[in-house]
């Protein structure tokens, strides 16, 4: 076994102490992710009753699956005005997380993913201060009779601008809920 000189050990320890030191003068800010238990989407047609999509997950990552409800089918050839409300119902009264998302619009964006043959198109109608999409307000236009799903995903700190896809957005997902819809 080869002996390592004492000065080599001390030099190595001194180097490690300098290279691993933390700068207490500039602590890294830790931001807590919002707790979102409930997403309610209201789709209001030009005439007739609004359609409500809601997901409630009051136990978060607990054993119970989210309760997902859709109040009815969409009508063919209609444009709906959409709004999204996010709540933290673990607090009483419930905290409206939508307010924080809107206040920090440059750090958030909703994405809408249509699948399964559902004949709809979506368009952003709410934007951040740089005119990049936010998506708490949107429109959804229906086509022919069909069915499928729409995945609503809120990303925190996405790349802005982006090409509108989750793959290009980056950031972290705050909430993602898929709703099965039909056009009848």
Note the pLDDT tens digit of each residue in 81-126. Answer: 999 999 999 999 999 999 999 999 999 999 999 999 999 999 999 9
- 112: closest CA among 101, 97, 124, 127? 124
pTM of the model: 0.81
pLDDT in tens, 31-52: 456 799 999 999 999 999 999 9
Report how far Cα 114 is from the mean position of its chain's Cα atoms: 16
Q: Give the pLDDT band of residue 59 (cuts 50, 70, 90).
A: confident
């Amino acid at each position: 076994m080869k002996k390592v000189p004492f000065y080599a050990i001390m030099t190595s320890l001194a180097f490690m102490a300098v290279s691993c030191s933390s700068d207490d003068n500039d602590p890294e800010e830790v931001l807590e992710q919002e707790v979102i238990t409930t997403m309610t989407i209201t789709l209001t047609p030009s005439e007739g009753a609004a359609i409500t999509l809601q997901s409630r997950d009051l136990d978060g990552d607990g054993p119970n699956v989210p309760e997902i409800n859709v109040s009815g089918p969409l009508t063919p050839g209609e444009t709906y005005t959409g709004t999204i409300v996010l709540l933290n119902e673990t607090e009483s009264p419930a905290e409206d997380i939508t307010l924080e998302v809107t206040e920090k619009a440059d750090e958030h964006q909703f994405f809408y993913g249509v699948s399964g043959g559902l004949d709809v198109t979506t368009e952003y109608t709410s934007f951040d201060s740089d005119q990049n999409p936010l998506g708490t307000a949107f429109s959804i236009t229906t086509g022919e009779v069909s069915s499928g799903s729409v995945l609503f995903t809120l990303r925190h700190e996405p790349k802005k601008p982006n090409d509108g896809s989750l793959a290009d957005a980056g950031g972290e997902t705050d909430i993602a809920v898929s709703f099965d819809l039909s056009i009848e």
